[in-house]
Structure formats: C-alpha cells, structure tokens
Structure 1
Amino acid sequence: MPINKTGAKKDGLQQYRVRLNYTDSLGKPRQIERTAYGLAEANALEQQLIAEYKEKRTASARLTVRELFEEYAVYHAHETRKTSHDNAMKILQLRVLPTMADYRLDKLTQPVLAKWKNGLASNRLAVSTKQNAYKVFVAMLNYAVKMEYLQKNPLSALGNFKAPEEIEKPADTLRYYTAEEFCKYIAAARARAVTLIDWGYYVFFCIAFYTGARKGEINALKWTDIDGNILHIRRSIAQKLKGGDVETPPKNKSSYRDLQIPAPLMNILSEHKQRQKEAAKNFSEDYRICGGEQPLRDTSIENHNKAFAKAAGLPHIRIHDFRHTHASLLVNEGINIQEIARRLGHSDVQMTWNTYSHLYPREEERAVEILNRIVPD
C-alpha cells in the first residue's frame, strides 16, 4: 500500500495520499484512496484501511450457506420467471441445504464441495436431477462471487455430473408420435368427447400437435390471442398446489411468437369456439381456448393423455413429447432447423439442432454424388 506526498500542506503538515490496491472478485485491479496530513496520520490511515478491508472480507466470509440462500432467494425472484425461481429454490432446499446449510462461505473448500457432490452422486437419482442441483448451486455461489463474499467459485472447478457411458441416453431415443399415430390418438380423443370440458382436452392436444407450444402456453391461450389465421403466444400459466395459478410471461424472449394456424386446426378451433358460445352464458373473447373460464388442470390433462393413448392402442408419451412430435414431423418433411426453433420458441437454434439433428436424413451420399460430377480436364 503506497503512501505518497502531494503538493498540498495544511497547518504546516504535509499532505499524503494513501492508496490500498486490491483485486476484486472478477480479477480486476481496484483501489481505495484517501488523504491525510502528517506522516503519522498517514500511517494510521493505512492501518485503518487495511483493517476495514479485512473486516469486510471476514464478515462476508462468515455468512453461512443458509444465510446466502435467504439473500439469494430475494435477488433471484426479481431476476427470473416465477416458475424458474420456484424450481431453483426448491432444488436448493431439497438438494443443497440439508447438508450444506450451516457451512460458512470461507469453509467451502473444494474437498468439502466434492463431498457434497459425491453424496448426491450416490443417491439413486436421474443424472439430469443431479446436474440441475449442481447448476443452481453454482449459480448461487456465482452470486456470492458477484457480491464479493467469495474470491472465486470453488464449485465450478469440480464440474457438473456426467452420465456413465453405459447408461447415457442416446440422442435418438426421443419419444414422439408419427403423423399416422397422432391421427389414431386424436380420433380416440374425439370419440370420448361428450361434455364441453371433454372437447377442451381434445382441442388442447390438437393445438399441441399443430403448433408445438408448451403446456403452459396452450393453457394460457385466450380467444383474443387469435387474429385471423395467426396465433399469438404471449403468456404462460404455472399451476401450483399452493397459491393458485400464476400467469407469467413465456419462458424466454424467443417464446413470444406468432404462428400461422394450419387449416385443420383452424376448423377445430372454430367449432370449439361455437361450442363454448352455446354452452356458456357469459362467454367472452377472454375465455381460455381450452378451459373456458378456468385453465385445464395439469393432472387432468395428463390423465386424459394416458386414456387417449390407451384407447388408441398407442404407447404413452409425455405432454412435452408432443413438442417432439411437432418438430419430428417438420424435420421429416425437410423444414429447416431455424424455422423449427422459431416455432418451438427456443432461445438458441443450437438447442434445437442438438435435440433433433439426428432425425435429419444423412446427406453423405448426396454430397459425394455432387462431388463426383466435378471432373477436372
């Protein structure tokens, strides 16, 4: 810490500039600068700055993981969608706090964190579950670094969980229905439709197939979201056991999208709107397309999904797999990956490519055929 004379004096005492140099949590050089008159006062100021800096570091390091979690939860709630926030907090409470809550931040060494990681690895959990736990823990510790509670993130160096090769899920094991299978599925759904709510489930899966929209996005759709033959996706719905339904923005910026409605789906929607008008005394354009006054319940959607598959003699696939069904159909028809990413509302085309590239036909033979035509003189 340098102490340098300046050109100023006061009451006959020389002015000194006292500077404390340090490196912040991002590795950038920083400094604190003060002035004092007289060498004795400058030396005392130097010791004061050092003590204050150490006290700040020490106080921050004495935070426990639980205290960090409580602070991070407030910060995270303002930075992410409610569903993402709730999921992250639930993972931290379930996978991190039970064993790490009372550790002070200055005690989070790599051996300590490796022990946490090994403990989680020994549990009979899906690899994706362990990976998600690592991601949210790393994110919380990154926040601690950002706030200068930690010099660096000790968990990052350990890396995320990896699936053993012998149990790693191959990329080509996506579950989806072919167009022919979907026709059987939706015919079974139509055959079971008696009440207005029955028709709501039928329409739900038609929208899922023809648009590739997410479950929450479909549940949030209102008749006001249809403009001519364009479907505007502008919101989602998260259903909770406590606190009721929460309407949220879509998952990311790219999830705000406008989709042209195919003619078959347009007919299905027109028929269903007429049903709602005839059955509901207080019908309005603000009705949910599938549920009417209230969204369909997630558990009921899945129960109907299983029943429709069974009635059609088809294997059961998840509701999310209808997005794969939509995408795989377009892939097999040669639609480019960028348009598929747009329709699905993916924030990154690479994500779409990583998921569906194996479905595209191999182009090796066609490439060689083209090159074979080029014969030099």
Structure 2
Amino acid sequence: MADKAAVKGIIFQEPKSAASTRRVPLDPGTVQALREHRKKQAAVRLKAGEKWRDYGLVFCTKNGTPYAYSDVRQAMRRLVKGAKVPHIRFHDIRHTHASLLLWHGVHPKVVAERLGHASVKTTLDTYSHLLPDTQAAAAAAIGEVLGDSVSKPLAKRWDRG
C-alpha cells in the first residue's frame, strides 16, 4: 500500500493507534469466501493488465482502485433491500458483529480486541446493555460451582433460629 498516497480523494496512511493494527481470526466459512474472492480478483487483475493499480485492497474496482463511498453505500442499500431487513448503515455491520459476539457469550475483552478498542471499558460502555442477565448468570454460575456445599450449611444455620 502506498503510504499517504491519494487515490480519488482517498488517503492511505498508517492507522491512528497501535490497537488499530491487529490480527482478527476468522471462521472457516469466511476464510473460504475470501479465498474464492481472491481467485476471482486475480482473474480480474490479469484482464486489467497495465491498467491495474495495486493498493493491496481486498475489495476494489476492476482496475484495483478503491471504490467510491457512494458506490459502497449504494451496494449496501441494494443488499439490505434484497435481504428484506431494516435499513442499516455500512458501519452498523461492526456494531452487529460486536453485539452478536456479546449476546453469544464471548468475553468482552475478546470483543474489545476484535474491535480494536484500547480498553475493554469502551466496549462495555457501548455494549453492556446487551448483557442484561449478567447478574442472574453470575448467581447461577456460583450456585453451580459451590453446589450444596454452601446452601445446606446455611439452611441448617437459619433453621436453628
């Protein structure tokens, strides 16, 4: 990628923080889809020949240049309409990713790392409303761990009353 090179008004530069550069593990289905996309992109690159501009982009035009924001927004609208789901912005995909992970019990620290948050506090401040049953889950977990070793002796003490 060209450092601070401008293409169609887009500026390529280093991320704003160290946390912004990270490896994010992907599920096998996504990895397979990206491999298939790379094969198709290689064919497009060959066809473009000398017109191809290599910016190291995963998704780009038929000449290797970045898509215009308006094109991405328009494609997103088509996809949302085709999926028959309520309108969402492109950035909402990030929020959906975080929300689904937390909802399925992924530790907030892991979600923070995937999002590039410098602190898990940012993640919890933004998404903790998605975890309304955390106190009930904690009570159930400690009850399961301790089992009868606490409840029976306590019950005997209270019965003596």
Aligned partner of 1:257 among 22, 25, 34: 22
The CA deviation at 1:324 is 0.7
Q: CA deviation at 1:285?
A: 7.3
Contact in 2 for aligned 1:238/1:248 (Cα 8 Å): no
Larger radius of gyration: 1
Query: CA–CA distance in 1 between the matches of 2:6 and 2:136?
Result: 47
Q: Give the aligned partner of residue 35 of structure 2.
A: 270
- Aligned-residue offset at 1:238: 8.7
How much has 1:361 moved relative to structure 2? Answer: 4.3
Shift of 1:349: 1.3
Letter in 2 for 1:322: I
Cα distance change, pair 277–315 in 1 and its aligned pair in 2 (3 A): same
Distance 1:275 1:347 in 2: 36
**Cα offset, 1:364, TM superposition:** 3.0
Q: 1:340 pairs with 111, 114, 138, which one?
A: 111
RMSD of aligned alpha carbons:
3.0
Name the structure 1 match of 2:134: 363
- Matched with 2:60 is 291
Identify the structure with bigger relative contact order (alpha carbons < 8 Å, sequence gap 6+).
2
Residue number among 70, 76, 80 corresponding to 1:305 in the alignment: 76
- 8 Å Cα contact 1:259/1:343 also seen in 2: yes
> Aligned partners of 2:6 and 2:127: how far apart in 1?
27
> Greater strand share, 1 or 2?
1
Shift of 1:314: 1.1
Task: Return 5+ residue gaps in structure 1 as ranges.
Answer: 1-219, 221-234
Aligned amino acid, residue 306 of structure 1: R
2:21 maps to amino acid? Y
Cα 1:294–1:284 change in 2 (3 A) is: closer
How many angstroms apart in 1 are the aligned matches of 2:73 and 2:84?
17
Higher helix share: 2
* CA apart distance, 1:252: 1.9
TM-score, with length taken from structure 1: 0.34
User: How high is the TM-score relative to the length of structure 2?
Assistant: 0.74
Aligned to 1:318: 89
SS where residue 248 of structure 1 aligns? Answer: coil
Contact persistence 1:236–1:250 (CA under 8 A)? no
The residue type equivalent to 1:256 in the other structure is: T
- Relative to structure 1, is the Cα distance of residues 245 and 310 closer, same or farther in structure 2, using a 3 angstrom cutoff? same
1:246 counterpart = 2:11: yes
Quote the sequence identity (%): 31
SS in 1 for 2:121: helix
Partner letter of residue 337 of structure 1? Answer: P
SS at match of 2:12: strand
Residues 365 and 287 of structure 1, relative CA distance in 2, 3 Å threshold: closer
Cα distance in 2, alignment partners of residues 259 and 271 from structure 1: 19
Letter of the 2:43 partner, please give it. E
Q: Where do residues 84-95 of structure 1 align in structure 2 (5 Å cutoff)?
A: none
TM superposition shift of 1:245? 1.5
Q: Distance in 2 between matches of 1:337 and 1:300?
A: 34
Change beyond 3 A, Cα 1:261–1:344: same
Cα distance change on mapping 1:246 and 1:362 into 2, 3 Å = same
